[in-house]
């Protein structure tokens, strides 16, 4: 089970008997009150961020049941008022707490998919609701508001209380959640049966859907993104709907151009992933399930996720009525700039190594269940 540390960096959070409460990411109005009372700038909570009980008045806490919990209308009100605390800026640092993030702008706009991909900010409120089989996903978002969009993920991921230790390296940031002690954790020290290394371009990909965005003249409301974890190459296409058949069609087009990857990770709802695989089997005439539901989809490469989020945010801000027209150029620019992690251009890594596209589905030495239970490490 995880070990929490208060997101506000308070001294009381070191108390092993302290109670910790997650931020109300499902309730934008209540979340806004929480953040307003904290008075921090340029910081957004993740689904792993917590506040300890010392920030809540006693009437906000329900101690009548077996578990101590917050009342439905509870809002934290007890915080330090020092100028240093109010101006503190906290950003997500992948893998290392000492590395600085790509930029404050990215952290402000990033809905960050993954534990860090589900924040709610003044720029955009990210709600993780299961999309329906109609063109409009479930949620309380206003598609006409260009500042309100989300990454569509499985609501079930938000309800998981404990994750394997390997998520700590991806999500933990100063003044944020800290999982069970892992100061000396490295893939080499773990069971190799539960670690999958990404060693080559176009082996393991990540799939996400962002929206609903402002509808363009071409009636596009969503963006499908497919990223290569190794090369950092990004494919992004506009979509009129996020139905499984539409998603599968674009995946088929991408495979036709770049070949078959080993598998594609996705955090879309599990039943949607199954329907996408059914469509892919029909369209590609294959028997394997190419898309795999995995919790680590958005966090195996946090930097690229933030770059995509910033790109989408800029497109909406500058070209709300025709962002789909400008999308190809923005993606092209993203793939031809040096990536801060690899120090190479994604184009050079993926397209200049002389690799031939694989024309048929690749076999794996492990089954579907092992993939879901494994941690992905990008070399």
Number of domains in the chain: 2
Task: Examine the domain organization and report whether 52 and 83 are in the same domain.
Answer: yes
For residue 305, what pLDDT is reported? Answer: 92
Task: Examine the domain organization and report whether 223 and 141 are in the same domain.
Answer: no
Whether 114 maps to a domain, the answer reads yes
pTM of the full structure: 0.59
Task: Examine the domain organization and report whether 68 and 196 are in the same domain.
Answer: no
Task: Examine the domain organization and report whether 153 and 191 are in the same domain.
Answer: no
Task: Examine the domain organization and report whether 339 and 222 are in the same domain.
Answer: yes
The angle that helices 302-318 and 323-335 make with each other, rounded to 10 degrees, is 150
Residues 6+ apart with CB under 8 A from 149: 111, 124, 141, 210, 211, 212, 213, 312, 316
For residue 310, what pLDDT is reported? Answer: 92
For residue 25, what pLDDT is reported? Answer: 78
The enclosing H or E element of 21 equals: strand 20-22
Burial of 64 per CB tally in 10 Å (0-12, 13-18, 19+): exposed
Backbone angles phi, psi at 211, to 5 degrees: 155, -175
Q: Quote the domain boundaries for residue 346.
A: 187-378
Residue that terminates a domain, selected from 171, 195, 230: 171
Please report, for the domain that includes residue 338, its CATH number: 3.30.420.10
DSSP 26-89: T-HHHHHHHHHHHT-SS----TT-EEEGGGS-GGGEE-SSSS-EE-TT---------HHHHT--
Task: Examine the domain organization and report whether 322 and 243 are in the same domain.
Answer: yes
Query: 3-class DSSP state for residue 25?
Result: coil
Task: Examine the domain organization and report whether 275 and 370 are in the same domain.
Answer: yes
Task: Examine the domain organization and report whether 109 and 154 are in the same domain.
Answer: yes
Residues 6+ apart with CB under 8 A from 241: 135, 221, 222
Whether 4 maps to a domain, the answer reads no
For residue 125, what pLDDT is reported? Answer: 38
pLDDT along the chain (379 residues), means of 10: 63 68 82 85 76 88 86 87 47 40 42 40 38 40 56 76 38 36 40 81 95 94 96 96 96 96 94 96 94 90 92 93 96 95 94 88 84 85
Task: Examine the domain organization and report whether 220 and 125 are in the same domain.
Answer: no
Task: Examine the domain organization and report whether 251 and 374 are in the same domain.
Answer: yes
Whether 178 maps to a domain, the answer reads no
For residue 110, what pLDDT is reported? Answer: 41
Whether 125 maps to a domain, the answer reads yes
Task: Examine the domain organization and report whether 107 and 44 are in the same domain.
Answer: yes
For residue 22, what pLDDT is reported? Answer: 85
What's the CA dihedral at 141, 146, 148, 149 to 10 degrees?
A: 90
Task: Examine the domain organization and report whether 236 and 165 are in the same domain.
Answer: no
């Amino acid at each position: 089970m995880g070990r929490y540390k208060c997101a506000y960096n308070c001294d009381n959070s070191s108390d092993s008997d302290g109670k910790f409460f997650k931020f109300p990411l499902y309730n934008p109005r209540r979340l806004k009150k929480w953040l307003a009372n904290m008075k921090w700038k340029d910081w957004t909570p993740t689904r792993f961020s917590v506040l300890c009980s010392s920030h809540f008045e006693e009437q906000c806490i329900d101690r009548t049941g077996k578990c101590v919990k917050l009342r439905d209308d509870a809002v934290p009100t007890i915080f330090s008022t020092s100028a240093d605390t109010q101006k503190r800026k906290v950003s997500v640092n992948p893998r290392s707490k000492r590395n600085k993030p790509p930029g404050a702008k990215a952290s402000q706009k990033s809905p960050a998919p993954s534990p860090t991909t589900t924040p709610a900010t003044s720029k955009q409120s990210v709600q993780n609701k299961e999309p329906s089989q109609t063109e409009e996903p479930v949620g309380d978002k206003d598609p006409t508001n260009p500042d309100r969009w989300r990454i569509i993920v499985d609501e079930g991921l938000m309800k998981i209380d404990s994750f394997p230790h390997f998520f700590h390296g991806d999500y933990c940031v100063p003044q944020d959640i800290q999982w069970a002690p892992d100061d000396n954790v490295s893939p080499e020290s773990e069971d190799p049966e539960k670690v999958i290394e990404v060693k080559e371009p176009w082996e393991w990909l990540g799939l996400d859907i962002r929206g609903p965005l402002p509808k363009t003249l071409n009636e596009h409301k969503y963006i499908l993104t497919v990223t290569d974890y190794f090369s950092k190459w990004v494919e992004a296409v506009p979509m009129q709907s996020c139905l499984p058949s539409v998603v599968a069609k674009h995946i088929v087009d991408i495979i036709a151009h770049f070949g078959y990857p080993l598998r594609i990770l996705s955090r879309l709802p599990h039943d949607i992933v199954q329907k996408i695989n059914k469509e892919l089997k029909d369209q590609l005439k294959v028997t394997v399930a190419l898309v795999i539901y995995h919790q680590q989809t958005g966090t195996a490469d946090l930097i690229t996720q933030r770059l995509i989020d910033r790109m989408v945010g800029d497109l909406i801000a500058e070209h709300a009525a025709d962002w789909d027209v400008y999308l190809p150029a923005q993606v092209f620019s993203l793939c031809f700039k040096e990536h801060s992690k690899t120090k190479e251009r994604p184009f050079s890594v993926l397209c200049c190594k002389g690799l031939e596209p694989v024309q048929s589905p690749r076999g794996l030495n492990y089954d579907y269940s092992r993939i879901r239970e494994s941690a992905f490490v990008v070399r």
